[in-house]
Chains A and B, each alone.
Chain A
């Protein structure tokens, strides 16, 4: 397989793998209130860099789905939109985390069995 095609395939699979994880990370991080920029900074500081153009629309989508609530508030003389996990979002997050842990445990077990870790 040509290196370029292999890289493209890796990028595509990586994107697929990250997509669900990012939603989980955003929901988990928004247990405390953030606005877009600080949320991105916090996630990046935790090692999960995410593009602005991906994160900001994602926040609005999650809000439309009822998983987040938001409010405009002035901070440092500027109006900002702050997001927080809703009650429904908290319930979904609990379920998703259980699912995530199950997958993670299974994957670790498979990799340990195969000595590939």
Chain B
């Protein structure tokens, strides 16, 4: 019976102190009865292997002990739909808020590393998930103990359902055209280094032109190409996705990328510089040209940010309205 006592000791390690002796006494009585049953069948005492077989059949100590414990769940089935809905609906807002903060830092904070900002996002997302999960777990623990359990109300009014949405997104043909235009812009930008006349016009091929693209061009060119490539990928996602809410989210992301492109262009400041081989009649004219182009980009940036914030706000309001309807159903 040494094996039986060792088994009971192992089970007891996983049981709470309260009621442990009682549980183990009952388990011992039942296991002894099982063994007596086997003895009766065989007509002789059990050897160690047969005792071990009875215990093995009964189950691993940790699993047996777990079955005696009260059933616990971090977030129960009653609260889980709300938890899942909160995660799904809030996550895009967290991503957008993070993008907005990083963008503001980029514009007003004297520049930031885009790679580092993207690399840091998983930590932000994980923290968000942890905080939401912890919040719901605390709520689950507290309900029924410190306040009444929250349940879905059975009564609800179908007449309060929102009217059928009349809003239609852009057609498939529009989305294809949008993708094609973006692809052409991307190709155009890629072709510029080999064919400067694409920016400077026919005069770009004239030797001895008094001005040319500024040396800074090479710095912001790679950033522009990268961002345009990202935008093209997002446009492709918009084309293939069937979910309207997803499409809206991706469209906002493309807006964010286009804002980043404008930020890069605004920061460049000098677009054209005097050519070392040419004779520029007046440096002031070139300064005015650069200033005017920069001002144009600044205006475009301001308009784009206002449009982005407005669309973001609309999305938040729409998401909150859905969330409120869901919560009202509780």
- Using CB atoms and an 8 Å cutoff, list the residues of chain A in contact with chain B: 35-38, 41, 51-54, 56-57, 60, 72, 78-81
Contacts and interface: CB of A to CB of B under 8 A. Distances in A.
B58 interface: yes
B34 interface: yes
Contacts of B57: 52
Contacts of B58: 52-53
- Closest 6 A-B residue pairs measured CB to CB? A37-B33, A57-B67, A36-B30, A53-B59, A81-B26, A57-B68
B255 interface: no
B124 interface: no
Contacts of A79: 25, 29
Contact of B33 (A53, A60, A80): A80
A53 B26 contact: no
B23 interface: yes
Contact of B29 (A36, A51, A53, A57): A36
A54 B59 CA distance: 10
Interface of B: 23, 25-27, 29-34, 37, 57-59, 63-64, 67-68
B29 A56 contact: no
A41 B29 contact: no
A5 B37 CA distance: 37
A17 to B, nearest CB: 19
- Of B30, B31, B63, most buried by chain A (CB within 10 Å of CB) is B30
A56 B34 contact: no
A52 B34 contact: yes
Contacts of B26: 36, 56, 60, 81
